[in-house]
Structure 1
Amino acid sequence: MIRAVASLGMYDHPAQQRANDLLWAAIARALREEGGDGIPDTLDRTRDVHALWRDPGLLFGQACGYPLVSEPDLDLRILALPVYAVAGRDGPTHRSVIVCRSDDPRGSLAAFHRSCAAVNDPRSNTGMNLLRATIARDALPAPFFDTIVRTGSHRESVIAVGTARADIAAIDEVTHAALARFEPDLVARLRIIASSPDSPTLPFVTAATTSDDMVRKLRTALGRAIADPALADVRATLFLTGVVPADADALTPIVARETAAVGAGHAALA
């Protein structure tokens, strides 16, 4: 029998981990009340999110949208898109903020031609795909950057730019908001020089083999957790204000951003 697992590893800053634990506890409790069996008690933080996404026992998780549309072996079912209280948003979209060092004299994205970019992961929508979408939107030359530094996370990209290992990076605005709240000294070293086009937020997902009945239970349980007044502080810590039920079609804008960038010659950043 496949063991069910749960993960909320995409926005899980140490200062947010207790909130994520409480959010999952509420979802798990609601699932059990709906008659769900084998519901995991705790979130799995022992493995990389890419490994968890490929676990056939993934009951509940959150995934980056770009791998979902670009990696054929990644077979997940979308439950909902979250809504985050950042930059005045009231729907299930977000974007990347493009940052440089606060003392860098360059005043526009165009001025960073032939510079060094920090990228958290070449499979990242916010760190890579939306960065090249912004470059394409602004009709900048290709390839735009001279070199790329792969950092492994948005936080490490922020550090790379702040310590002059790179000149520029695209940071998920939800992560940027968390760093500004919980590690303001890191963000104080930077300034925002541009924002990317909008994109769907990171979807809540389950394994493709999850039954229709369990999908219904998961959406109900998630909705209950989002509406529970007792979890207001939990949601505020996560910047989470709502969810919108969704399926794979919700990620079409991510494909459109990629298609436009590749068509403009920006298949690669450097």
Structure 2
Amino acid sequence: MTRTASLGMYDMPWLHSANDALWTGIAARLRAAGLSGVPETLDRDRPLGEIWRDPALRLAQTCGYPLMTQLADIVAPVAAPVYRWPGCSGAAHCSVVVVAVGSHYEALGDLRGGRAAMNGRDSNSGMNLLRHAVAPLATDGRFFGAVVETGSHLASLDHVAWGQADVAAVDCVTFGLARRHRPDLTAGVRVLAETAKSPSLPFVTRASASAEEIALLRRALAEAIADPELAAATEALGLAGVEPVTAEDYEIVLAYERQAEAAGYPALA
């Protein structure tokens, strides 16, 4: 049986070649270790939610919030990536809170009653970390005047840059990738603040994978990222390495949710 692989969390069209090269390096190492059914190519045809739930999943990357709220018995964490982008520290990252260039905002409190853009309600970086950041400022469960769901971090950047929203929280890895490869996408915004940090987006496999397979996947990731022949790809992705993680490492994501709820702010609003 040929299994499924995806690197879809940071797989914008302008990063396809880098992710393809990285996967080729990972796949070669998995085959050399004796794993069968390693796919030749990444799955870009199906929604990520479907790929994460595929019983044939070999390797994918997901967000820490759905990992803890939707996928607990479906996937198993393999490793957390270490990125070189500003806002990252080891295998942890934050979101950057962005507003339009030329806007008058100087602090989070200035955004009261404004319009917030988020990529999705199931996003740690676009929703959960922003909710946690503004919860102490909320009154009667509200802080923003309106919240719009855009579908992606890049769309949220676009909303802010063009005045369709006043603020968005964008994963600092996405922001770093866009600023490096597509500076036109970040030219219209500026960073107002950074959120609290949480573990970076985990590489995962199916929950039924053996401990041996998880160890092989982790080693293949580490070796491919360290391979000098893949330096162009890993530099483009900002990847410096991986660190072992378990689901328990992502409990902080739920702790941020509980802290917002304790402050009377259970939903981004």
Q: Same fold (TM over 0.5)?
A: yes
Please state how far the C-alpha of 1:234 moved relative to its aligned partner.
1.1
User: What's the offset of the Cα at 1:186?
Assistant: 2.1
Does the 8 Å CA contact 1:101/1:162 hold for their aligned counterparts?
yes
DSSP-derived class of the 1:210 partner: coil
* TM-score, normalised via structure 1 length: 0.95
Structure 1 residue 72 displacement after superposition: 5.7
- Aligned partner of residue 113 in structure 2, secondary structure: coil
Gaps of at least 5 residues in structure 1 are none
1:110 and 1:140 in contact (8 A); partners too: no
Task: Give 1:226's aligned residue.
Answer: 225
Equivalent AA in structure 2 for residue 83 of structure 1: V
Deviation at 1:216, TM superposition (A): 2.0
Instruction: Give the equivalent residue in structure 1 for 2:260.
Output: 261
Describe the shift of the 1:103–1:202 C-alpha distance in structure 2 as closer, same or farther (beyond 3 A): same
Which runs of structure 2 are paired with 1:92-131 in the superposition (5 Å)? 92-131=91-130
CA distance, structure 2, for counterparts of residue 224 and residue 106 of structure 1: 44
Range moving further from structure 2, 77-86 or 9-18: 9-18
5+ residue gaps in structure 2? Answer: none
Matched, 1:49 2:48: yes
Farther off after superposition, 72-81 or 246-255: 72-81
> Structure 1 209/25 Cα, relative in aligned 2: closer, same or farther at 3 Å?
same
Distance in 2 (CA, whole Å) between partners of 1:72 and 1:156 is: 25
Partner of 1:91: 90
Distance 1:72 1:203 in 2: 12
1:38 maps to which residue? 37
2-structure distance, mates of 1:73, 1:241: 27
Report the count of equivalent residues. 268
Runs of 4+ deviating beyond 3 Å: 138-142
Worse-matched range after superposition: 210-219 or 39-48? 210-219
Q: Which residue of 1 aligns with 2:160?
A: 161
SS at match of 1:10: helix
Does the 8 Å CA contact 2:101/2:189 hold for their aligned counterparts?
yes
Distance, in Å, in 1 between the alignment partners of 2:72 and 2:162 is 37
Whole-Å Cα distance in 1 between the matches of residues 132 and 236 of structure 2? Answer: 30
C-alpha displacement at 1:15, in angstroms?
1.8
* Distance (Å, rounded) in 2 between the aligned partners of 1:56 and 1:201: 24
Instruction: Give CA-to-partner distance per residue, 1:151-179, whole Å, 9 cap, x none.
Output: 00000000011111111100000000111
- 1:13–1:178: 8 Å Cα contact kept in structure 2? no
- Looking at structure 2, the residues matched to 27 and 41 of structure 1 have their Cα atoms a distance apart, in angstroms, of 10
